[in-house]
């Protein structure tokens, strides 16, 4: 029999918790199946810009004052009256009701009722305005020919000039807030502001390529795209810009990123390229059209719309059907060591799991776990662990996050399949596609924990995890 551990001795019994991870089904070969398909715009006009404030609501604008919108993800597109005959180049929607449009001859239009009515605003210039971004319902920035930048802080009641510092064409603008923006244009130009446009500062792109589009997912991550399939990116707010290999030589006219990893770019000849790793690699996708695409917008990881010449609209959606139920899990979970101090203690650690329901059944699922008794190889053990917290987040391919009903902390993990403990679940009609689930495991250490003669000492246990249909 082992003697009580002397106070102050270091216990590392929870520092080598080895888990065997077993699921009842293999992980599906692909997490969500995505593809591009054509939608019917109802017009033959060139559609130059698109913006989707939600996965259901989008607006696209184009030649001859055309504005088209959908409220059902593109199942139907309907006309809205712009009141102008000018070519419209871009649209930005700060919400599903508040949008702005810009175009040739200094045109700016706005709506506060989802496009029920569009009202002209005074831009103060006659230049061609190429792009607009509205980070909120009060602030918008517009860029155009001749280095023009115009901005509003009152929803367009008035527009003021800002000094870009360049005289060439500015083609695109992206803002992550009302203060922090980037704009790009011909000849490799990139300019940025961190004070709402009071000052704009040039950044070094490293090339003289004509850039057609820019997108920024936060204050450090941006991508630009342009002629010859050029893509350049920054991860430090533009201090440096680095080339990425887009996998196409076609001019890229639009780019959109959902977060810092997943991006799409679209361009000439129906070219579409995508990355799921921030641009380390880009791969071509089949767009279902050979017509030039002029813009793309992706409101989340699973939905994109691209618009182009001749009234072309193509949409990308991910479906989570036709597959199996499975998950991945850590190969080991390790608790930190603890020093006995005469008090009961608890140590915690986190393991990340990726359940993936591709069945399309809507039945929900549950993850259960059981564990063999902790052992230090000398006949000593520890109490069974529990799961004390959990959280889920979206990953590439997520169709619907799980809605779980497990109460934490759970009871102690059972010791066999028959007594396995439910540690996480997805209610019916939730949890489709993959998700990242972080589970916090808790291990209690009694004040008078016993170990063998060696110190520190290590305890191990084999844990088995199973995923099954039904919550």
Q: Is 341 a member of any domain?
A: yes
Choosing from 301, 319, 337, the residue where a domain stops is 319
What pLDDT, on a 0 to 100 scale, did the predictor assign at position 324? 87
Whether residue 41 is found in the same domain as residue 80: yes
What pLDDT, on a 0 to 100 scale, did the predictor assign at position 33? 63
Both structure tokens of 115: 């496009």
Most confident of 11-20, 407-416, 456-465: 407-416
Mean pLDDT along residues 337-362: 89
Whether residue 83 is found in the same domain as residue 214: yes
Higher pLDDT, 24 or 466: 466
Q: What pLDDT digit, counting tens, does each position of 134-158 carry?
A: 999 999 999 999 999 999 999 999 9
Residue 305 clears pLDDT 50, i.e. is over it: yes
Q: What are the phi and psi torsion angles at 418 (to 5°)?
A: -70, -25
Whether residue 209 is found in the same domain as residue 299: yes
Whether residue 292 is found in the same domain as residue 363: no
Residue 317: closest CA among 41, 30, 69, 35: 35
The CATH number of the domain where 279 resides is what?
A: 2.130.10.10
Q: What pLDDT digit, counting tens, does each position of 185-238 carry?
A: 999 999 999 999 999 999 999 999 999 999 999 999 999 999 999 999 999 999
What pLDDT, on a 0 to 100 scale, did the predictor assign at position 455? 61
What residues contact 368, with CB distance under 8 A and at least 6 apart?
420, 421, 422, 423, 465, 466, 468
d(CA 122, CA 112): 16
Asked whether the beta carbons of 442 and 14 are under 8 A apart, the reply is: no
Task: Give the confidence band of 263 by pLDDT, cuts at 50, 70, 90.
Answer: very high
Whether residue 306 is found in the same domain as residue 326: no
| Percent of the chain topping pLDDT 90 | 75
Q: Is 24 a member of any domain?
A: yes
Q: Is 4 a member of any domain?
A: no
What pLDDT, on a 0 to 100 scale, did the predictor assign at position 19? 37
What pLDDT, on a 0 to 100 scale, did the predictor assign at position 20? 35
Whether residue 285 is found in the same domain as residue 332: no
d(CA 258, CA 256): 7
d(CA 317, CA 75): 12
Whether residue 257 is found in the same domain as residue 150: yes
Q: Residue 87's CB: how many other CB atoms inside 10 A?
A: 19
Q: Is 170 a member of any domain?
A: yes
Choosing from 260, 287, 319, the residue where a domain stops is 319
Mean pLDDT along residues 343-350: 92
Both structure tokens of 448: 């008078």
Q: Is 83 a member of any domain?
A: yes
Q: Give the distance, in angstroms, between the CA of residue 165 and the centroid of all CA atoms in the same chain.
A: 33
Asked whether the beta carbons of 99 and 109 are under 8 A apart, the reply is: no
Residue 462 clears pLDDT 90, i.e. is over it: no
Whether residue 117 is found in the same domain as residue 233: yes
Q: What pLDDT digit, counting tens, does each position of 312-336 carry?
A: 999 998 888 888 898 888 888 888 8
What pLDDT, on a 0 to 100 scale, did the predictor assign at position 7? 29
Task: Give the confidence band of 395 by pLDDT, cuts at 50, 70, 90.
Answer: confident
Q: Give the distance, in angstroms, between the CA of residue 309 and the centroid of all CA atoms in the same chain.
A: 28
Residue 133: closest CA among 196, 189, 67: 196
Both structure tokens of 352: 């990340």
> Which residue carries 């520092």 as its tokens?
15
Q: What is the pTM of this model?
A: 0.74
Q: What are the phi and psi torsion angles at 51 (to 5°)?
A: -145, 135
Burial status of residue 300 (CB atoms within 10 A of its CB: 0-12, 13-18, 19 or more): middle
Whether residue 237 is found in the same domain as residue 341: no
Whether residue 308 is found in the same domain as residue 348: no
Whether residue 174 is found in the same domain as residue 69: yes
Q: Give the distance, in angstroms, between the CA of residue 252 and the centroid of all CA atoms in the same chain.
A: 21
Residue 10 clears pLDDT 50, i.e. is over it: no
What stretch of H or E contains 152?
A: strand 149-152
> Which residue carries 């803002």 as its tokens?
175
Mean pLDDT along residues 22-38: 55
Q: Is 2 a member of any domain?
A: no
Both structure tokens of 320: 């989570």
Task: Point out the least confidently predicted range of 268-277, 288-297, 452-461.
Answer: 452-461
In the Cβ-directed half-sphere of 325, how many Cα atoms lie within 13 Å? 21
d(CA 41, CA 312): 7
Choosing from 277, 296, 319, the residue where a domain stops is 319
Whether residue 296 is found in the same domain as residue 219: yes
**Average confidence score pLDDT of the chain:** 90
What pLDDT, on a 0 to 100 scale, did the predictor assign at position 319? 81
Task: Give the confidence band of 456 by pLDDT, cuts at 50, 70, 90.
Answer: low
**Which residue segment(s) compose the domain that 309 sits in?**
33-319
State the total domains in the chain.
2
Q: What pLDDT digit, counting tens, does each position of 421-442 carry?
A: 999 999 999 999 899 999 999 9
Q: Is 380 a member of any domain?
A: yes
Q: Is 1 a member of any domain?
A: no
Asked whether the beta carbons of 187 and 181 are under 8 A apart, the reply is: no
Q: What pLDDT digit, counting tens, does each position of 76-92 carry?
A: 999 999 999 999 999 99
């Amino acid at each position: 029999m082992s003697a009580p551990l002397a106070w102050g001795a270091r216990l590392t019994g929870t520092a080598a918790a080895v888990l065997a991870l077993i699921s009842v089904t293999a992980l599906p070969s692909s997490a969500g199946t995505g593809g591009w398909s054509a939608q019917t715009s109802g017009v033959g006009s060139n559609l130059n810009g698109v913006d989707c404030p939600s996965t259901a609501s989008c607006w696209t604008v184009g030649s001859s004052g055309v504005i088209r919108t959908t409220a059902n993800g593109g199942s139907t597109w309907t006309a809205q009256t712009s009141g102008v005959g000018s070519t419209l180049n871009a649209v930005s929607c700060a919400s599903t009701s508040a949008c702005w449009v810009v175009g040739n001859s200094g045109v700016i239009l706005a709506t506060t009722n989802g496009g029920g009515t569009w009202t002209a605003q005074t831009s103060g210039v006659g230049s061609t305005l190429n792009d607009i971004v509205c980070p909120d319902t009060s602030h918008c920035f517009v860029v155009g020919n001749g280095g023009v930048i115009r901005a509003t802080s009152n929803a367009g009641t008035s527009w003021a000039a800002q000094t870009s510092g360049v005289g060439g064409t500015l083609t695109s603008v992206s803002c992550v807030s009302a203060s922090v923006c980037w704009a790009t244009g011909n000849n490799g130009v990139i300019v940025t502001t961190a004070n709402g446009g009071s000052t704009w500062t040039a950044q070094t792109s490293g090339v003289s390529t004509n850039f057609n589009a820019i997108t920024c997912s936060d204050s450090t991550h941006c991508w630009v795209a342009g002629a010859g399939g050029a893509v350049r990116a920054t991860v430090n707010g533009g201090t440096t810009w680095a080339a990425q290999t887009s996998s196409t030589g076609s001019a890229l006219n639009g780019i959109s990123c959902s977060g810092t990893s997943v991006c799409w770019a679209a361009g000439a000849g129906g070219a579409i390229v995508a990355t799921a790793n921030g641009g380390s690699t880009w791969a071509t996708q089949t767009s279902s059209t050979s017509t030039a695409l002029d813009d793309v917008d992706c409101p989340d990881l699973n939905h994109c719309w691209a618009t182009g010449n001749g009234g072309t609209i193509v949409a990308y959606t991910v479906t989570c059907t036709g597959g199996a139920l499975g998950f991945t899990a850590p190969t080991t979970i390790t608790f930190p060591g603890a020093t006995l101090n005469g008090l009961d203690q608890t140590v915690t650690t986190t393991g990340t799991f990726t359940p993936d329901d591709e069945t399309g059944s809507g039945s929900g699922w549950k993850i259960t776990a059981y564990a063999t008794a902790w052992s230090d190889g000398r006949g000593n053990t520890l109490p069974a662990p529990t799961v004390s917290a959990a959280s889920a987040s979206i990953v590439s391919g997520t169709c619907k996050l799980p809605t779980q009903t497990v109460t934490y902390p759970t009871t102690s993990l059972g010791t066999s399949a028959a007594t396995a403990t439910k540690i996480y679940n997805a209610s019916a009609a939730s949890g489709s596609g993959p998700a990242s689930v972080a589970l916090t495991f808790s291990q209690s250490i009694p004040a008078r924990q016993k170990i063998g003669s060696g110190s520190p000492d290590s305890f191990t246990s084999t844990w088995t995890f199973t995923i099954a249909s039904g919550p």
